[in-house]
Each structure stands twice: as structure tokens, then as C-alpha cells.
Structure 1
Amino acid sequence: MNMPVYLDYNATTPVDPRVADAIETCLGQHLFGNPSSSHIYGRRAHDAVEKARGQLAALIGARHEEMIFTGCATEANNLAIRGVAAALRDRGRHIITSAIEHPSVAAPFGLLEQQGWDVTVLPVDEFGRVNPESVAAALRPDTVLVSIMHANNEVGTIQPISAISSITRPKGIVLHTDAAQSMGKTPVLVEQLGVDLLTIAGHKFYATKGVGALYVRRDTPIEPLLVGAGHERGLRPGTENVPAIVGIGEAARLVHAEDDSERAALGVLRDMLHQRLQREIPGLHLNGHPDRRLPNTLNISFPDVSGRELLEHAAIDVAASVGSACHEAGDNVSGVLGAMGVSQQQARGVVRLSIGRPTTKTDIERVATALVSAFFNR
């Protein structure tokens, strides 16, 4: 069967064959032991977990002990936000986030607001960027946490996290960023960003689903969400998922070994697709920042058509997404696009095309031809 071209890498990535090999090797090398056990089977499993921890730490420039494995990015975001809030509840009860966060950040903020916390939600500009000056203006003596995503999952806009850190760090305010979409697409280095907490999702950069991580800078005040044994510095009790952790470690190693030209290649293919569609479809509109954007992400609005219907017409050749532009029940503007000031008519025509490591120039040409044909023959 001739499968459609997959351009939904912001939703999830396939497992890289080298990651799959590492997991298979793990399963075949008597690494079934409990990493907490003192016998040889436990020590082998423990060593595999610690090797992966080092690989992930090396990718983002962190210390080995600052990496906490979780079951997914949603868990990591909850641990970061609710864990810091619990640790600092006696210091202040004001927290700050943005209007375009992933639900796994927005929902914990909503829960804390229900519990009596004062939440400030910062606006974004028409490109989806938070102005660092708005962060500075929102700070109060009782502010304890700021959480701003690194790159947006819908439009790809990259936030000025380093500039925000220069505002929060001198005041001793904890800064968290959700970098789930960024890994493998753009450099993510915790010292350059100046963050205290950073979220990672394995399945966004060619590891398996069911594994994530949270970078926790040394001495950051945080409490666990769950109680039990002392795994993961006491922040995430529960026996470790060794094969999945080995997989995310190998995925991190592969990204770390890449050079800038490999990431730049994503941008070349993305721009090739954008230019072809712009040339052939009048009125096409780019959503997101023209430059400060993930190199793989192209979020565009097609004029006078539903993006969902367009993808249905092109489904034989293209597997992509409308992002969150429309809810299942109707054509309401997504929270991200609404915060950017995108009209309902423009949001209706949104298609998100996200490119990945296996994407080729032939794939791009096939997708462009299919979308142009679907647009004019719908």
C-alpha cells in the first residue's frame, strides 16, 4: 500500500530504528532487573538507567543528577508546576503563565487557581510571542513561579526564554519552560536559557511514548506529587521503565551527535513547501513568527476553505493536522490562534504541516501537489 506522506511530527514521531535497536538490546541483555536491587540483574538495569540519564543531561547541558525521569511530558509539567507551588506556598501565592500554553501546563495553573492561587495569564503578540517586558510588569513581591513554553506546538514560535530568565532569576523566582516540542529541532541548553525546570517528551524526538523527563536545577524548591519510595531523588516514586528510559537516552544521543546542518535541512524542506504553496495559492497566510520559529513547523491558513476538509480531500497523499485550530464540535478558534488575534475565518482554514527526520524533497513535492489539487478541486 502506498501510504500518505506523514507530516504530523509535532503530534508524535516514529521510533527511530536505532532507538528501537537499543530497546531491543536492552530487553535481550538480562536488563529486566529492578534498578533498586543490589544483585547483578539490578545493577545492570541501574547502570542502563544512569547511562540514559547522562545522555539526556549531555544533550541539554545539565548535570547528571538534575534529570528526573517521568512517564510523559504531562507528568513532568504537573510535577514542575504543582511541585514548586507546594514547596513555595508559604512564600507567595502568585504564579504567571502565557495564553498559548499546552493543556498540560494550562490545566495545572487552572487547578491551582481553583485552590486559591492568583494566576496571571500573559498575552502574546500576533506572532505568538510573549514580550519579556510584560513578564517584568506582571511580577509582584509574592510571585514564586513563571512558566512559559519554549516553542509552541501549533505554530512553532520560539519564546525569548533567556530574556525572561534575566528578569526572573535576580528576583529568585522559579522559571519553568515546556520544551517538549523543541528537542531535536532547535538547540536547548539550560544554562543559555537560564531556566530552573525544563520539560522533555520522548515521543517528540523519536523515542517511545510513555517516557519523559524533567530537568530540575540543583537547589530548586520542589515537592513530589506522589509519595512512595525514593526513586528519582524522591520526586518520582515507582520502579523505572528501563527499556523506555534506554530509548530516550539513545534518542538524546542521536540528537546530540547531529550537526547544525541536519537541523537546518528541516528548515530548507519547510520553506520549499511554503514557497510552493504560496506561489500557487493566492491568499495563503502564515501563522507564527516568520523567523523565530521551529525549523520543521509550517502553520498556514488556506483562504475560503476548511482546513479539515482540505486534508480529507488530500488524505491519500498527506497525513497532517489542523493542530488545535478547530474543536471536534465545531469551528471555534483554538486558544493559541485566538490569543494571536487570528479571526475565526482564518482559523477555519488552518493546516499544520510539521516535517521530520525521514522527510525527503520528494515527499515535499508530493504533499504540495496534493494540497494544491485539493484546494482547487474541492
Structure 2
Amino acid sequence: MNLAIQGSIFTDTSAKPCIAVSPVEHKAVLDTCDALVKKELAEIISLRVDSKGRLDLEYLEQICASGISLLCVMAANNEVGNIYPIQAIRQIAQNYDIPLLCDASQAVGKIPLKFAEWRITYMAISAHKLYGPKGSGALVVSKGYHLKPILFGGGHQNGMRSGTLNVPGIVGLGEACRLRQLEMEADEKEIASLRDKLQSILLDKIPGLVVNGDPNSRLAGNLHISIPDIPNSAIIARVRSHLAISTGAACSSGVETPSHVLQALGLPNNLIEGALRIGLGKFTTEQEIDQAANLLSTVVSQTRQVMV
């Protein structure tokens, strides 16, 4: 993300760059933009989302029409699982000749993405998000665009990023992409079915439970819930030896601050503090869904009794 953002905006130094960013982007995007603002190297415009995390496309078009250097919108959110209409977003940006950086880390291997056909400018992917090796990823750059390097010392990859290539990681990423192309459609239908079963059981067994995000456009393997007035830390402390769930982004697991995604949605504090992110994948079984549902509902009931 650092290379895509910094490398693209500094190709034109005639004026201070202005970047439009979705407020629910990954911290890899938001923190890079914040660093540029602190150094007075760029201006940032935050796009608008509603309480379900859906992007306001009319406002996005207004911002694009005003003239910006770069538009950053993810393909799918890493916390609430929302899938964003990247094809439509790219068309809006293209109408005003604005490059689009799409963080597709959560989306590749789970939903169809057509980089060339949709004319996405920059797209970032991460291998371990599609069952590939950790520590490897790719930044796909559209033909006709060139990024100014932020790492120097060898001129690798057409001068855009110096450094010895991680060949085993690259091979692993390529193989993971090949396998997901073969398996994705069937896998994601099965994962969505398991997710819906878990959601249905939890809604039935846990009074007051809220499902966050856009239920009509989300990743199959994502279930983001809130249990009002029960701190998520109390739940996780009771299930951590049996169930792997989180309060937010895994890469922010050591951070005590509330989720910036849920804050951007404008959720009340009791829903933010009671939020839990549950992830499912191709290796999740129906038996595990039943066990997770029973464990969570039992723990919530016990916690409520203690808190009365």
C-alpha cells in the first residue's frame, strides 16, 4: 500500500496531492495517508459510508468531479465483510481520469474480480488470504502507469521496487490463485451456507444479537456480530481455548482502541464494545458450526448471569 499510494501521487509534483479514501479501509491504507498528512505531503478526503458500511456513490462522484490525485476503495472489508461495487466505482473514477487503488486482499479468491476488464489502476493482494503462504503478496499495476519507488538499491521490477524476490512465496501465491480459480465458486457457496446456519442459530439463541455490515453484499466467510452491553473481551476470555474469534482486524489484535470501521459506521458504543468477528473458510465443517454456536450461546448466557 505504501508503494501504491506514495509511488502514484508523487509522479505529479505540480501541486499538493489530494487522496480520497474510504473511512473503512485497512490501516495499511489509512496509516499511510495519515503519515503523508502529518508530513504535509498530501491532503486527505474521507468518503461517506452509512450504518451498514455501504459507500455513498453520489458523494464519491462529487469528490471525483472536484479533482483528486488518487481514489482508494477496497474490494471487500476485512472486518464486517462488505463487498464494494468496484466495477461501478472504477467507472466513476475513470470518467474523471482518476487512478483507483483497490485493496483486494480480502476479496481475491472469494469473489470474481476482473482487473483488466474493469480497468482497475492498482490492485493489491495478499497470499495468505487465499490459502497461500504468509509473507507474500502482489501489487498489480495497469499498463501505462508507473510508480515512483520508495525502496532503492537494485532497480528490480522495472525500477518500482528494489529487493531480492521471494521466489517460493511467489510460486505459492501463483498456485493458490490457480486453485482458487478452480474451487472458488463451489467453496464460497458452501461457506455461505455454513455462515448462514451459524447466523441463524446465534440469532435464535442470543436475544438482542445484532449482525453488522451489509447482509446483502458481504463475503461468504464473514459473520460480524454485536452482543449489546456485553464486552467482547469477556466473551473472548471464556472461549479463547476452544474457538478462534476476534474483536476486529487480526493485524490490530494487540491494539486496545475501538475498531475504526465500526466507528465509521456510527454504531453506538455498546455495539462497538460488544462486537465479534467470526471467520469461516473452506476447511470449516458443519460440526464445527454446531460446536461454535453452542459454545457462544452458552458463554453469552453465563456472562449475562454474572453481570446481572
TM over 0.5: yes
Determine whether 1:372 maps to 2:288.
no
> Any stretches of 5+ residues in structure 2 without a counterpart?
304-308
Give the match for residue 85 of structure 1: 9
User: For 1:210 and 1:168, how far apart are their aligned partners in 2?
Assistant: 31
Selected match of 2:281 from 353, 356, 371? 356
Give the match for residue 345 of structure 1: 270
Considering Cα pairs closer than 8 Å and 6+ residues apart, tell me whether 1 or 2 has the greater RCO: 1
CA apart distance, 1:139: 2.5
CA apart distance, 1:327: 7.9
Give the match for residue 31 of structure 2: 107
Determine whether 1:294 maps to 2:219.
yes
CA contact (8 A) 1:93 1:142 kept: no
After superposing the two structures, state which structure 1 stretch, 136-145 or 171-180, moved more: 136-145
User: For 2:56 and 2:145, how far apart are their aligned partners in 1?
Assistant: 25
Residues 192 and 351 of structure 1, relative CA distance in 2, 3 Å threshold: farther
Give the match for residue 197 of structure 1: 122
CA contact (8 A) 1:91 1:144 kept: no
Give the match for residue 150 of structure 1: 75
User: For 1:267 and 1:91, how far apart are their aligned partners in 2?
Assistant: 47
Give the number of equivalent residue pairs: 301
Give the match for residue 232 of structure 1: 157
CA contact (8 A) 1:317 1:366 kept: no
Tell me which structure has the larger Cα radius of gyration. 1
CA contact (8 A) 2:64 2:92 kept: no
Alignment of 1:1-378 (within 5 A): 77-90=1-14, 93-114=17-38, 115-139=40-64, 142-324=67-249, 333-378=258-303
% identity of equivalent residues: 35
Moved over 4 A (4+): 324-330
Give CA deviations for 1:100-145 in whole Å, capped at 9, x if unaligned. Answer: 1111100111122232322101121111121221111112554121
User: For 1:363 and 1:323, how far apart are their aligned partners in 2?
Assistant: 21
Give CA deviations for 1:197-219 in whole Å, capped at 9, x if unaligned. Answer: 00001111111221110010001
User: For 2:181 and 2:109, how far apart are their aligned partners in 1?
Assistant: 8
> Any stretches of 5+ residues in structure 1 without a counterpart?
1-76
CA contact (8 A) 1:101 1:149 kept: yes
CA contact (8 A) 1:176 1:196 kept: yes
Give the secondary structure class of the aligned counterpart of 2:290: helix
User: For 1:268 and 1:323, how far apart are their aligned partners in 2?
Assistant: 23
Tell me which amino acid in the other structure corresponds to 2:7: G
Give the secondary structure class of the aligned counterpart of 1:228: coil
Tell me which amino acid in the other structure corresponds to 2:53: G
CA contact (8 A) 1:299 1:353 kept: yes
User: For 2:265 and 2:253, how far apart are their aligned partners in 1?
Assistant: 17
Give the match for residue 4 of structure 1: none
Give CA deviations for 1:18-62 in whole Å, capped at 9, x if unaligned. Answer: xxxxxxxxxxxxxxxxxxxxxxxxxxxxxxxxxxxxxxxxxxxxx
